[in-house]
Chain A
Amino acid sequence: MELKNLYREIVNEHNLHPVHKGDIEDPDMILNGVNPSCGDDIYLQLKFDENGNVSEGSFNGSGCAISQASADMMLDLIIGLPKEEALEKAEIFMGMVRGTVDEEKIEELDEAASLADIAHMPARVKCATLGWKTMQRMLRDGENEKK
């Protein structure tokens, strides 16, 4: 998709009117993710139910439209999923921007699949992956800044 169309059809909406931006009440995990070279700076907040599924999630902070939209789309996708499945989605997303997973897999990302072309823009890959990497650090590595 031509970049301007990608912005118009998908990114702008998530950037300007994000569904998941803000704070959730009493999150279980909070983590800061930054891209020092861009100034992208987000706080991801997650809450889990008794089965370990992601029950609520949100992000806060500032950054470019792609970093913000990607985080919003990620939360759309992972809320309601067990941790393991959320991590699988992150793996697919990382593979997508590296160009190492096939189309069929990419479809599992729903709307986030629209960011596939970011793979051709090395300078923007970091923006697109910020939210996903932050989630990986939380769910896979157990990093948590919640006091």
Chain B
Amino acid sequence: MNINEIRKDFKILADPAYVYFDNAATSQRPEQVLEAMDAFSRTMNANPLRGLYEWSIKATDAYEDARAKTAAFVGADDPSEIVFVRNATEALNLVAFSYGLEFLKEGDEILITVMEHHSNILPWQMVCRKTGAVLKFIEPKEDGTITEEMLKEAVTEKTKLIGMGLVSNVLGVRNPVEKAAELVHKNGGVIVVDGAQSAPHMKTDVKAYGADFFSFSGHKMLGPMGIGGLYARHDLLEKMPPFLSGGEMIEYVKRDSATYAEVPHKFEAGTVNASGAVGLAAAIEYLENIGFDAIEEQEKKVTKIVYEGLKSLPHVHVYGNPDPEKHSGIVTFNIDGCHPHDISSVLDTEHIAIRAGHHCAQPLMEFMQEKLSMEFRATARASMYFYNTEEEAERFVEAVSKVRGWLGF
């Protein structure tokens, strides 16, 4: 992988003054993605799945090709197992509102980890309120690890759904979803794997995970905002009721009833985000051309510099696994006496972009504050992607070493 060649594909990265280390929030888009979306709008824009004329047929083909590419990308058997949604949040809500409300009942247990993103917490709180199911949390060790033993202890015979991020957006740790899947399947339950943070960084294989559902966002993996995917086993999609209803998801509509379109269209009400799907497909193609081996190798190099650099600084606390290779490009830290928002603000004056705050994971922040005696209920987070360089990592560490000085210490 030639990093200099790759960076030419990302015009926004052209100015070397800027270091973008907020990739876990959203990634940048290469020209190939922008061009593919542009070409859709310029040469075939029409409402897909409806029109009986050339442009609409082309638009339909482009949209369905994107679905096939996405299905192959996650390791699904069949394109019909991919539902296009706006983002991982919508995917998780779809599962909660459709599967959760229909199939969970009073006394069932939903098990999630305390490190979930709010989008993998709130939908399950809703399901519990409406069905009488009970929401339970599994807490990791201080370095973020969840072991098989911890899982076995947490899963009871009542556990009917497990929600688990494959990679934590705060700690970067990879969770043992395979083991969790095995345990919940013994109960006849399902596992919802949130891949928002994993799909950009590692090869996805829903079969190997044992995932019944898998959610991800296009914009975190070089695609545009507003398109994401839900993988779901075909037999589950068949028996699940629609989430949203209206146009494009029906077969017959009478005055007082309707029958639904076949899977996955049953779950894609209204005009779809076809140019977004085309952009996502171009992003997938881009990632596959580089290959996840090369992607991981570059990320590990950069992450190691950031992790070890920050570790060596006085007054800096780095969280998560002691092995930087187990961080999926994410390094979360704090500096004594400095609120993460102040850290991010002063780094911004150096044109360095990182995230600071609770990272949409407040239960994890509360857990970390208790277990690790964090000064504030918040952290700073640098998150790297394959287009980041070792020079950027060094510049970042250098800047962090000055933060306490800038904040008056």
CB within 8 A of B406: which of A4, A38, A62, A123?
A4
A-B pair count, CB < 8 Å, reads 58
Q: Is A15 a contact partner of B377 (Cβ separation < 8 A)?
A: no
Inter-chain contacts of B376 with A (CB < 8 A): 39, 62-63
Q: Is A123 a contact partner of B408 (Cβ separation < 8 A)?
A: no
Q: Is B357 a contact partner of A65 (Cβ separation < 8 A)?
A: no
Inter-chain contacts of A127 with B (CB < 8 A): 341
Which 4 A-B pairs have CB atoms at the shortest separation, nearest pair first?
Answer: A12-B408, A64-B339, A39-B377, A64-B341
Q: Is B408 a contact partner of A8 (Cβ separation < 8 A)?
A: yes
Q: Is B358 a contact partner of A39 (Cβ separation < 8 A)?
A: yes
User: Is the C-beta of B252 less than 8 angstroms from some C-beta in chain A?
Assistant: no
Q: Is A7 a contact partner of B341 (Cβ separation < 8 A)?
A: no
Indicate whether A16 sits within 8 Å of B341 (C-beta atoms), given known contacts A3-B346, A39-B358, A62-B376: no
Within residues 325 to 363 of chain B, which ones have a CB less than 8 A from any CB in chain A? Answer: 337-342, 345-346, 348-349, 357-358
CB within 8 A of B378: which of A16, A39, A123?
A39
Q: Is B378 a contact partner of A38 (Cβ separation < 8 A)?
A: yes
Inter-chain contacts of A124 with B (CB < 8 A): 341, 345
Inter-chain contacts of A38 with B (CB < 8 A): 339, 341, 357, 378
Indicate whether A16 sits within 8 Å of B409 (C-beta atoms), given known contacts A4-B346, A37-B357, A39-B358: yes
Known: A2-B349, A127-B341. 19 other contacts (CB 8 A): A7-B342, A7-B406, A7-B407, A8-B408, A11-B408, A16-B337, A37-B357, A38-B339, A38-B378, A39-B339, A39-B376, A63-B339, A63-B376, A64-B339, A65-B342, A65-B408, A66-B345, A121-B345, A124-B345
A-B contact pairs, 16 of them (CB 8 A): A2-B349, A3-B345, A7-B407, A13-B408, A15-B408, A16-B408, A37-B358, A38-B357, A39-B365, A39-B376, A63-B376, A64-B342, A66-B341, A66-B342, A124-B345, A127-B341
Inter-chain contacts of B345 with A (CB < 8 A): 3, 66, 121, 124
Inter-chain contacts of A37 with B (CB < 8 A): 357-358
Q: How far is the CB of B405 from chain A (nearest CB, A)?
A: 9
Within residues 116 to 144 of chain A, which ones have a CB less than 8 A from any CB in chain B? Answer: 121, 123-124, 127
A76 CA to B408 CA, complexed, in Å: 21
A62 CA to B406 CA, complexed, in Å: 19
Inter-chain contacts of B348 with A (CB < 8 A): 3
Inter-chain contacts of B365 with A (CB < 8 A): 39
A13, A39, A62, most chain B CB atoms within 10 A: A39
Interface of A is mostly: helix
A11 CA to B339 CA, complexed, in Å: 13
Q: Is A65 a contact partner of B339 (Cβ separation < 8 A)?
A: yes
Inter-chain contacts of B407 with A (CB < 8 A): 7, 12, 15, 65
Within residues 292 to 317 of chain B, which ones have a CB less than 8 A from any CB in chain A? Answer: none
Indicate whether A8 sits within 8 Å of B357 (C-beta atoms), given known contacts A38-B378, A62-B376, A64-B342: no
A3 CA to B349 CA, complexed, in Å: 7
Question: Which residue of B has the minimal Cβ distance to A5?
Answer: B349
A15 CA to B378 CA, complexed, in Å: 18
Question: Which residue of B has the minimal Cβ distance to A35?
Answer: B341
A63 CA to B348 CA, complexed, in Å: 19
Q: How far is the CB of B253 from chain A (nearest CB, A)?
A: 43
CB within 8 A of B341: which of A8, A13, A123?
A123
Within residues 17 to 46 of chain A, which ones have a CB less than 8 A from any CB in chain B? Answer: 37-39
Q: How far is the CB of B403 from chain A (nearest CB, A)?
A: 10
Q: How far is the CB of A47 from chain B (nearest CB, A)?
A: 28
Indicate whether A7 sits within 8 Å of B378 (C-beta atoms), given known contacts A2-B349, A37-B357: no
Question: Which residue of A has the minimal Cβ distance to B377?
Answer: A39
Within residues 43 to 75 of chain A, which ones have a CB less than 8 A from any CB in chain B? Answer: 62-66
Q: How far is the CB of B172 from chain A (nearest CB, A)?
A: 21
Q: How far is the CB of B380 from chain A (nearest CB, A)?
A: 12
A41 CA to B365 CA, complexed, in Å: 15
A123 CA to B22 CA, complexed, in Å: 16
Inter-chain contacts of A66 with B (CB < 8 A): 341-342, 345
Inter-chain contacts of B358 with A (CB < 8 A): 37, 39
Within residues 105 to 152 of chain B, which ones have a CB less than 8 A from any CB in chain A? Answer: none
A67 CA to B333 CA, complexed, in Å: 21
Inter-chain contacts of B357 with A (CB < 8 A): 37-39
Q: Is A4 a contact partner of B341 (Cβ separation < 8 A)?
A: no
Inter-chain contacts of B377 with A (CB < 8 A): 39
B338, B339, B340, B357, most chain A CB atoms within 10 A: B339
Inter-chain contacts of A39 with B (CB < 8 A): 339, 357-358, 365, 376-378
A125 CA to B46 CA, complexed, in Å: 43
A38 CA to B362 CA, complexed, in Å: 10
